């Protein structure tokens, strides 16, 4: 079965712009989580969506937002980009059963803010 | 504050050496524990997971991990590493008290295996 698909793979934006990243989970996976990965901070949890609802949110400013569609595809948006937003953004999907089965990660979108 | 600690930032081993990577967490109560691996240029992959039962968990590629509740630890081990094990390893904890899929990761340990 197809894995988690993230688009685009690479993105270069300038400060102040906004960006939208997309994630298509594995078919049947209803939970989608987003992480920011940087060399200094490691993997930082952004938020998780389940059935089109944000279930949990990490400690990121309101410039970071997301949504999930009825087909479980998810998007995350970053407005008013800052240089420090440069990172690899990872999407992970899971079955969201009562017992977590662990994530399946996508390859990520590498965002560079200049 | 709840946290996941991986004390070794970078480990360098020769092939055939034994490996143990430390992971400690500070969550109280029931936890689910995971190890992920990220090979150079590839996405994160699940190595193994622990929910309950036998505290010694076996994963893919000869890796295993032991859950020691009294020490809040979940160390990753491999008896004999190979050059192909060069990668970054992440320990992760899920605390169901929050919700089913909120997973917090350690900072990662980079493993370099010299041929």
Nearest CA in chain B to A95: B101
Query: Distance from A104 to chain B by nearest Cα, in Å?
Result: 7
Q: Which of B100, B107, B110 best tests the A interface by mutation, with the highest count of A CBs <10 A?
A: B100
pLDDT at B97: 62
pLDDT tens figures, A61-101: 999 999 999 999 999 999 999 999 999 999 999 886 656 67
- How far does the CA of residue A9 sit from the closest CA of chain B (Å)? 12
Residue A80's pLDDT is what? Answer: 97
Nearest-neighbour CA in chain A from B18: distance (Å): 25
DSSP for residue A26: P
| Subunit contact A94:B101, Cβ cutoff 8 A | yes
Query: What is residue B98's predicted lDDT score, i.e. its pLDDT?
Result: 57
- pLDDT the model gives residue A41: 83
Q: What is the pLDDT of residue A94?
A: 87
CB contact under 8 A, B44 and A103: yes
CB contact at 8 A, A83 and A113: yes
Which pLDDT value is given to residue A103? Answer: 85
Residue B76, both tokens: 């990753």
Which segments of chain B have a pLDDT < 70? 1-2, 96-101
The pLDDT value given to residue A97 = 63
**Residue B16, min C-alpha distance to chain A (Å):** 28
Beta strands in chain A (DSSP E): 5-7, 10-13, 19-24, 31-38, 42-50, 53-57, 64-68, 74-78, 87-94, 104-105, 109-113
The whole-chain average pLDDT of chain B stands at 91
Residue A113 token pair: 């803010």
The Cα A24–Cα A20 span in angstroms is: 13
Give A96's contacts in chain B (Cβ within 8 Å). 100-101
Rounded Cα distance between A28 and A94, Å, is 9
Tell me, yes or no, if A35 comes closer than 8 A to chain B by beta carbon: yes
Chain B CB within 8 Å of residue A94 CB? yes
Whether the predicted pLDDT of A1 surpasses 70? no
Question: Which residue of chain B has the CA closest to A106?
Answer: B43
């Amino acid at each position: 079965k197809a894995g988690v698909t993230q688009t685009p793979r690479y993105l270069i934006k300038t400060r102040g712009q906004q960006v939208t990243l997309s994630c298509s989970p594995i078919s049947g996976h209803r939970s989608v989580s987003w992480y920011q990965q940087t060399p200094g901070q490691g993997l930082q949890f952004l938020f998780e969506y389940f059935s089109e609802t944000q279930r949990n949110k990490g400690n990121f400013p309101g410039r970071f937002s997301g949504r999930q569609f009825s087909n479980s595809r998810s998007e995350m948006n970053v407005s008013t980009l800052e240089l420090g937003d440069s990172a690899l953004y990872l999407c992970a999907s899971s079955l969201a059963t009562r017992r977590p089965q662990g994530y399946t990660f996508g390859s990520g979108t590498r965002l560079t803010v200049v | 504050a709840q946290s996941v600690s991986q004390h070794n930032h970078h480990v360098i081993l020769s092939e055939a050496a034994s490996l143990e990577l430390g992971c400690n967490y500070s969550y109280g109560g029931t936890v689910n524990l995971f190890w992920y691996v990220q090979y150079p240029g590839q996405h994160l992959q699940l190595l193994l997971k622990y929910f309950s039962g036998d505290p010694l968990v076996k994963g893919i590629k000869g890796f295993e991990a032991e859950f020691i509740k009294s020490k809040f630890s979940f160390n990753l081990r491999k008896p004999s590493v190979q050059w192909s094990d060069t990668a970054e390893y992440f320990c992760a904890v899920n605390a169901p008290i929050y919700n089913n899929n909120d997973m917090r990761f350690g900072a990662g340990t980079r493993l370099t295996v010299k041929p």
